[in-house]
Structure 1
Amino acid sequence: MKNHLKRTSRLVSLLFCLHSGAALSADLGAAEPSRAAVPASSWSLIFTTYGWIPWMSGNMTVKGRPLDVNVDPSQVFGHLDWSTLPAWMSYAEARRGPVGLFNDVVYASLDGSKGFAKALPGGDLQANVSVNYTQAIVEFGGAYEVWGGHNPVLSGSTAIDLIAGGRYWHQDTDVAGTLAFDPFVKETVRSGSVDWVDPFIGLRLRNQLGAGEELMVRADFGGFGVGSDSSWQVLATYNWQMCVLYGHVLDGYVGYRALSVDYSQGSGATRYEYDVLQQGPVVGSTLHF
């Protein structure tokens, strides 16, 4: 299985690098000279662009109207709002010795999604529900390597980072639907801009499986009633060196990400609630500076 994964990843790497028109490294599995050349006393930088293919499940309330959220990727991608920036996802980290500073951005805007949410029993919006939905999640934080050495379970060396930071959420939701007591009357309710920040703490494991290969697992928990009641995230990726572009190592990676949050504010007709789990595969590429 591992050899099949290696062969597949290298084939993808070869096609990507040839398409980019860059000079390939002599051996895609060779050591990464630009990483090794960075002294521990100097800053290094990585920049990642990625795509997250999400399933969303849970429930939300907009202006006191309860809604069920049960969305698959086709319902997300089929309703991206192309009149503006439909989506953006990126990750950046600067590192010097055991210290790292990172930033992660997830943005998506949906327009007229009929499959995004449906009214729950007890609400007055019962049919033909469609949603315009904008979400931005901006994460900022730091990492500190607390342990490094040989992994007794997996091959290669392992480092464990303690991570901490904040996760800023922005949401803006418009829900339109016909009224339960009068199907000929349509009503639109708007959440307006809803913003909050969740502090979080967690751990990250980085395991070098071999030259140019890394397994990364991260888990964090936050909220603590400061912003949301609770929030948690799990991310696992397999990373491999694809090629060298103009002297900089380019990695590819595949993995899985799950992010959950339980937030609420207001009461009655002003209540806004968002209790949703977003999860699915992630695919991206990382450039090392």
Structure 2
Amino acid sequence: MLWNHAHRRHLRGRIAGNSFLQRPVTLDGDTRRNSRTVSKSITWADPIVGTRAVFHFTDKWQMSLRGGVGGFSVSSVLTWDTTAVIGYTFWEHGTFWAGYRAVGDNYTSNGKNAFKFDAVLHGPIIGLAFTF
């Protein structure tokens, strides 16, 4: 069923896009004679594909599930993300969201400025969505 305000039940869709990541790194070193700070930032982008589903329990309450995978060795070997949130519509054009998100990325660059990032970042998320 497509989005229908009269019978809002669920919405499913496919996702295709780009994942843009920037990782700053700062190292501080102190000795008795001097101190030194070294900073470096690296940015990369990856194609992603995925899916999402929104389930409307009532006119006010809904749940959104979203997941994607990408990288495909364009920049990262593999990147992925998944999100699960519960939403409460407090106004016709406004929804409060709260849930959990996890993002994983496996990126390696070579050469003089070699950089490796292989991690999973996860935690609670909150947000407001305004639609018109």
Query: Shorter-normalised TM-score: what interval?
Result: 0.7 to 0.9
Bigger strand fraction: 2
Alignment of 1:265 with 2:109, yes or no, is: yes
The within-5 A match list for 1:12-91 is none
Q: By how many angstroms is 1:276 displaced? A: 2.0
Aligned residue type for 2:122: Q
The within-5 A match list for 1:116-155 is 148=1
Alignment of 1:188 with 2:37, yes or no, is: yes
Alignment of 1:172 with 2:16, yes or no, is: no
Q: Where does the alignment leave 5 or more consecutive residues of structure 1 unmatched?
A: 1-147, 150-155
Q: Aligned to 2:9, which of 157, 181, 192?
A: 157
Aligned residue type for 2:57: L
Number of residue pairs the alignment of both structures matches:
126
Q: By how many angstroms is 1:187 displaced? A: 4.1
Map of 1:286 onto structure 2: 129
CA distance in 1, matches of 2:61, 2:15: 22
Map of 1:212 onto structure 2: 60
Map of 1:252 onto structure 2: 96
Q: By how many angstroms is 1:270 displaced? A: 2.6
CA deviations 1:55-86 (Å, max 9, x no partner) are xxxxxxxxxxxxxxxxxxxxxxxxxxxxxxxx
Aligned residue type for 1:188: T
Aligned residue type for 1:225: S
CA deviations 1:74-129 (Å, max 9, x no partner) are xxxxxxxxxxxxxxxxxxxxxxxxxxxxxxxxxxxxxxxxxxxxxxxxxxxxxxxx
CA distance in 2, matches of 1:288, 1:159: 16
Aligned residue type for 1:204: R
Aligned residue type for 1:199: P
Aligned residue for 1:270, secondary structure, equals coil
Aligned residue type for 1:259: V
CA deviations 1:223-242 (Å, max 9, x no partner) are 11101111110101111111
CA distance in 2, matches of 1:221, 1:197: 13
Identify the structure with bigger relative contact order (alpha carbons < 8 Å, sequence gap 6+).
1
Map of 1:241 onto structure 2: 89
Aligned residue type for 1:255: G
Q: By how many angstroms is 1:263 displaced? A: 1.1
**Aligned Cα RMSD in Å?**
2.1
Map of 1:37 onto structure 2: none
CA distance in 1, matches of 2:89, 2:20: 31
Aligned residue type for 2:130: L
Bigger helix fraction: 1
CA distance in 2, matches of 1:175, 1:253: 36
Q: By how many angstroms is 1:177 displaced? A: 2.3
CA deviations 1:150-185 (Å, max 9, x no partner) are xxxxxx73322111100112233221125xxxx546
Aligned residue for 1:225, secondary structure, equals coil
Map of 2:5 onto structure 1: none
